[in-house]
Copies of this chain bind each other. A is one copy, B any other.
Amino acid sequence: MSSPMKTGPPETGEASKNESSKHGSNLNRGISILDLILRVIATIGTLGSSVAMGTSNQTLPFSFQSFQFRAEYNDLPMFTFFVIANSIVCGYLVLSLPLSIFHIIRSSAKISRIIFVIFDTVMLCLLACGASVAASIVYLAHKGNANANWLPICQQFSNFCQRISGSLIGSFFSVIILILIITSSAVSLSQI
């Protein structure tokens, strides 16, 4: 009679602990699946932005002495940076997909999750920088600035401007997705 009494409490404790660990593991698996989906969406977003900006150009139907008649994304170094930043983040996200799938299978992986958080944060930074640098130039192209004597160029290159404005959407959208990815990584790290 004394043997069950003695071993009882530890067993119950262990069982409840196992259950809690199982619950955490299930939650982590769910978060890992969400993480994979978010990564795929962010990949599409950055790829779309990069391609939209990279292929944007407009040639005006008339030429003029010393007048600029063709606008391309690499006329401005900020747009080149935008394309490069988006491409790097897109490449990183594609490379991170296998590790994300690995996290679904092994939900208790800790080190790789920490590495993910570090790289995700750096990539978030890069993407946010690229998107906002391009956004500031898009703003200038639309509105110009009277104080600095910078005239808007969108009156001449309206199609080009529409294209570069649109390409920002995917990039800022991916920034939000990356914030969600980092948050979900933090939650799953706390469950291990």
Number of copies: 2
Q: For A137, list chain B residues within 8 Å (CB).
A: 136
Instruction: With both chains docked as a complex, state the minimum distance between the C-beta of A46 and any C-beta of chain B, in angstroms.
Output: 15
Per DSSP, are chain A's interface residues mostly helix, strand or loop, or mixed?
A: helix
- CB under 8 Å from chain B, chain A span 108-134: 110, 113-114, 117-118, 121-122, 124-125, 128-133
For residue A78, CB closer than 8 A to chain B, the reply is: yes
For residue A98, CB closer than 8 A to chain B, the reply is: no
Q: Which of A37-45, A48-56, A99-107, A179-187 contacts B (4 or more CB under 8 A)?
A: A179-187
Chain A: number of interface residues, binned into ranges: 35 or more
Further pairs besides A121-B124, A125-B175, A129-B132: 9, Cβ < 8 Å: A113-B186, A114-B183, A117-B182, A117-B186, A118-B183, A121-B179, A124-B125, A124-B128, A150-B151
Supply 9 A–B pairs (Cβ within 8 Å), ascending by A. A76-B145, A76-B148, A110-B190, A113-B186, A117-B182, A128-B129, A136-B137, A148-B150, A189-B190
Q: For A76, list chain B residues within 8 Å (CB).
A: 145, 147-148
Instruction: With both chains docked as a complex, state the minimum distance between the C-beta of A4 and any C-beta of chain B, in angstroms.
Output: 13
Q: Which of A121, A135, A137, A139 has the most CB of B within 10 A?
A: A121
- Given A77-B139, A133-B136, A182-B121, residue A147 in contact with residue B190 (CB < 8 A): no
